[in-house]
Chain A
């Protein structure tokens, strides 16, 4: 898309704006998901897991890729969503969609409050602050075992059927489509945001924050808004996890999980919107396959995979794809 095309008047109607710049191949991930569901029924539970983590990684991409903030504590919002959804369910609120919505709101609130503090800092302090938030929430959950189950985890989550009809069963079918729908809706929102003036101002902040201040952009406010949205989506992912697995463990609030999801995102490529869609399945399926083949030594092959990706697919797999695509374009 040339610069001239981009700066002509954007379409006004909502539908036109939704479909603005949408390429045909963007339907691929969704079609692939549905095809995979029918082709590999034994893998449906793990596919559901992939969908939820993709949503989580997508929310992380907003913070890391679009706001340019390095966070090692994004699991704080995921975990907040998970525990909120779980606790509500344990105490009787088991309607999935409203449960998830409330959990999302809770995560957004926590995101807003912590973001207000975190975003005022720079450099290492930011990283340490994100870590501090996660570690603190983790310890709180650990020590309020009476409510959260502590390191035993939160059990007894019994969700009512989605829309009154679709029960969560051991085969994971309902969970799959439920997560897929949530991911789709969230993605639509994120895509809209990223391609809107709001999204462009975020890119500007990431590229040259001084300039953005100079032209009068309310930098801090924008970042906080984006951060809160990212926290909300992470919370949604956590809520989905709690609802479909019907279990919440302390790991949902851990530094380990934050690191894992960051790795998944980096594999796919940061700031490219679809990085999560590539990196998450690659990581989770590779881990699953490697761990089945050689449970004791899968770490080795996983490590080799990561090193190879860094050496040969610098910037993530989408960056590699972009380079190959550019090279072909320039050859042609």
Chain B
């Protein structure tokens, strides 16, 4: 009996030590809880938001008033895991007493956390997902990322206007993919285009070749492709290359996700000529973009190029800095949201960025880009700009 008792006490003591280990409180610090994907197949997305945040904080360290610091706390959602994301949000609020939530990758995670922030009255700057409906879940959500419609709908319109009469769509089978498909089809058919067929590819596909073979067999002049995040896009593009889709005369278009600057160099010359629409390009001519990319190369090396997720993270922490400075560290939730809803940054790496006070979602330019060789490296060269694009989905679904 005694040893059982002693063992129990020992275990309890150990448990108490584990639980009581202090989180490390810093005087007068504003805590920001980031929920991003740091493990699993899409860990690149979370990692680059982390890098962008750290870089911004390093470069802007002197901007905060004396005695005030911002402390980021990082949590891993391991992928599209809405209940896990919600629990992490709950822990961050109840245990770590954060004053902001940020990140939130994947639409399902965003919807789960979004609804929760309403209950918890927690200002949330979402930088990780493109869900169009999430800002309606709660008045405490603002996005500095994008919505899938913002790129795909104008792309559809552009395609119809520029001589493309028919297209095939191939998207990954999940909410983001469905959004992309719907947005493109609406823009394209409104301009008179015809959809030849649609394929939806399961999220966890191992081998892309059978799908690409099917697309090739349909012989469309143009295929609209969407895949979430860098790694999926690379394998997709490789499959297209392996089957000689481009050589067969099929043109590939899609949102900029599929030629993500972060992964572009890995895709090889297979992607030359692919035309995409996105709110950012690492080689966009704006001075703010150039400065951003240069600072990134300096910190992370010449082979590391920031992609659109990096920009999302950057803009989010910039907005948080703005709010903290404006309110001097006293982050009353409603005042914070009032500030964030009117946030503007003309010098964002993506170009002029504005938060729409009506929807709390982003308004930014959308660039038409084509992959070309620039100085021996692949680059998304901008050849057209569609300025000041609001989220079309919200416009259509008022």
B94→A42 contact, CB < 8 A: yes
CB contacts (< 8 Å) of B206 on chain A: these are none
Contact A248 B83, CB 8 Å, known A45-B94, A152-B107, A324-B3 = yes
Which residues between 117 and 166 of chain A lie within 8 Å of chain B, taking CB atoms?
150-153, 155
Query: With an 8 A cutoff between CB atoms, is A10 at the interface?
Result: no
B90 touches A170 (CB 8 A): yes
* Nearest CB in chain A to that of B23: its residue: A292
Chain A nearest CB: distance from B30 CB in Å?
Answer: 18
Which of B3, B5, B94 is close to A44, meaning CB atoms less than 8 Å apart?
A: B94
B31 within 8 A of A: no
B80 interface residue (CB < 8 Å to A): yes
| Complex partner residue of B175 from A28, A49, A152, A291, CB under 8 angstroms | A152
Given A40-B19, A172-B90, check contact A296 B47 (CB 8 Å): yes
Q: Which residues of A contact B120 (CB under 8 A)?
A: 170
CB-nearest residue of chain A to B95: A42
Q: Is the C-beta of B87 less than 8 angstroms from some C-beta in chain A?
A: yes
Q: Is the CB of B15 within 8 A of A172?
A: no
Q: Please judge, given known A-B contacts A44-B94, A49-B87, whether A153 and B16 are in contact too, CB under 8 Å.
A: no
Does any Cβ of B come within 8 Å of A308's Cβ?
no
How far, in whole Å, are A319 and B76 apart by their CA atoms in the complex?
A: 33
Cβ of A187 within 8 Å of any chain B Cβ, yes or no, is no
The reply on A304 being an interface residue by CB < 8 A is no
**Most chain A CB atoms below 10 A, which of B5, B19, B119:** B19
Q: Give B38 Cβ to nearest chain A Cβ, in Å.
A: 5
Q: State whether B116 touches A153 (Cβ < 8 A).
A: no
- The digit string for B84-103, where 1 denotes a CB below 8 A from any CB of A, is 10110011011110000000
* Complex: A2 Cα to B7 Cα, angstroms: 24
Q: How far is the CA of A179 from the CA of B38 in the complex (A)?
A: 30
In the complex, which residues of chain A have a beta carbon less than 8 angstroms from the beta carbon of B108?
A: 151-153, 249
Which residues on the B side are within 8 Å of A299 (C-beta)? Answer: 39
Given known A249-B83, A325-B4, contact A150–B16 (CB-CB < 8 A)? no
- The CA-CA distance from A328 to B4 in the complex, in Å, is 11
A248 to B82, CA, bound (A): 8
Q: With A and B bound together, what is the CA distance between A281 and B116 in angstroms?
A: 25
Query: Chain B residue with minimal CB distance to A175?
Result: B90
Q: Please judge, given known A-B contacts A32-B12, A151-B203, A170-B116, whether A285 and B18 are in contact too, CB under 8 Å.
A: yes
Chain B residues within an 8 Å CB radius of A292: 23, 73, 75
Q: How far is the CA of A299 from the CA of B76 in the complex (A)?
A: 11
Within the complex, the shortest CB–CB distance from B126 to chain A, in Å, comes to: 16
A42 to chain B: which residues have CB within 8 Å?
91, 94-96
A251 on the interface (CB 8 Å rule)? Answer: yes
**A residues in contact with B21, CB < 8 Å:** 289
B57 on the A face (CB < 8 A): no
Closest Cβ of chain A to B145, distance in Å, is 17
> In the complex where A32-B12, A39-B16, A155-B112 touch, is A249 in contact with B75 (Cβ < 8 A)?
no
| Number of chain B interface residues as a range | 35 or more
Shortest beta-carbon distance from B223 to chain A in Å: 24
Please, how many angstroms separate the alpha-carbon atoms of A20 and B344 in the complex?
A: 70
Q: Say whether chain A's binding surface is mostly helix, strand, loop, or mixed.
A: helix
Say yes or no: A291 contacts B12, CB within 8 Å: no
A184 smallest CB distance to B (angstroms): 19
What separation, in Å, do the CA atoms of A25 and B93 have in the docked complex?
35
Query: In the complex, which of the residues B1, B15, B39, B115 contacts A296, with contact meaning CB atoms closer than 8 Å?
Result: B39
Q: From residue B114, how far is it (CB to closest CB) to chain A in Å?
A: 9
A11 located at the interface, meaning its Cβ lies under 8 Å from any Cβ of chain B in the complex: no
CB distance from A28 to the nearest CB of B (A): 6
Q: Which of A40, A49, A172, A295 makes the CB contact (< 8 A) with B75?
A: A295
- B95 pairs with A151, CB closer than 8 A: no
Name the distance in Å between B350's Cβ and chain A's nearest Cβ.
Answer: 26
Are B116 and A45 touching (Cβ within 8 A)? no
A241 sits at the interface (CB 8 A): yes
Q: How far is the CA of A292 from the CA of B18 in the complex (A)?
A: 12
- Whole-angstrom CA separation of A285 from B21 in the bound complex: 12
B211 interface residue (CB < 8 Å to A): no
- Residue B326, interface by CB 8 Å: no
| B75:A152 contact, CB within 8 angstroms | no
Min distance, Cβ A6 to any Cβ of chain B, angstroms: 20
In the complex the two chains form, is A296's CB within 8 Å of B38's CB?
yes
Contact B115 A155 (CB under 8 A): yes
Question: In the complex, are the beta carbons of A151 and B174 less than 8 A apart?
Answer: yes
Contact yes or no, A153 B119, CB < 8 A: no
Interface members, chain B 37-95 (any A CB < 8 Å): 38-39, 43, 47, 73-76, 80-84, 86-87, 90-91, 93-95
- Separation in Å of the A297 CB from the closest CB of chain B? 9
* Assembled-state Cα–Cα distance A39/B12 (Å): 12
Nearest neighbor of B202 in chain A, beta-carbon distance: A142
Q: Which of A40, A151, A170 contacts B119 (CB 8 A)?
A: A170
Fill in one digit per residue for A285-306: 1 if any B CB lies within 8 Å of its CB, else 0: 1001101100110110000000
> Chain A contacts of B107 at CB under 8 A?
152
* Residue numbers in A under 8 Å from B319 (CB-CB): none
Complex Cα–Cα for A281 and B89 (A): 20
Q: Cβ of B94 and Cβ of A153 under 8 Å apart? A: no
Q: Does B8 contact A (CB under 8 A)?
A: yes
A251 pairs with B90, CB closer than 8 A: no
Is A88 part of the binding interface, using a Cβ–Cβ cutoff of 8 Å?
no
Task: Name the A residues within 8 Å of B84 (CB-CB).
Answer: 249, 251
A291 to chain B: closest residue by CB: B76
Neighbouring A residues of B80 by C-beta, 8 Å: 151
Contact of B277 with A by CB under 8 A: no
A255 to chain B, nearest CB (A): 11
C-alpha gap A158/B15 in the complex (Å): 34
Q: Is B225 an interface residue (CB 8 A)?
A: no
Known A-B contacts: A241-B83, A247-B82, A285-B18. Give 19 more (CB < 8 A).
A25-B1, A32-B12, A40-B19, A44-B94, A45-B90, A46-B87, A46-B91, A150-B175, A151-B203, A152-B82, A153-B82, A153-B83, A245-B83, A251-B84, A292-B75, A295-B75, A296-B76, A321-B7, A325-B3
6 closest A-B pairs by CB? A42-B95, A153-B82, A295-B76, A152-B108, A249-B82, A45-B90
Could you pull out 11 A-B pairs where Cβ atoms are within 8 angstroms? A32-B12, A42-B91, A46-B91, A153-B108, A155-B115, A245-B86, A245-B87, A246-B115, A249-B83, A251-B83, A328-B3
A-binding residues in B (CB < 8 A): 1, 3-5, 7-8, 12, 15-16, 18-21, 23, 38-39, 43, 47, 73-76, 80-84, 86-87, 90-91, 93-96, 107-108, 111-112, 115-116, 119-120, 174-175, 203
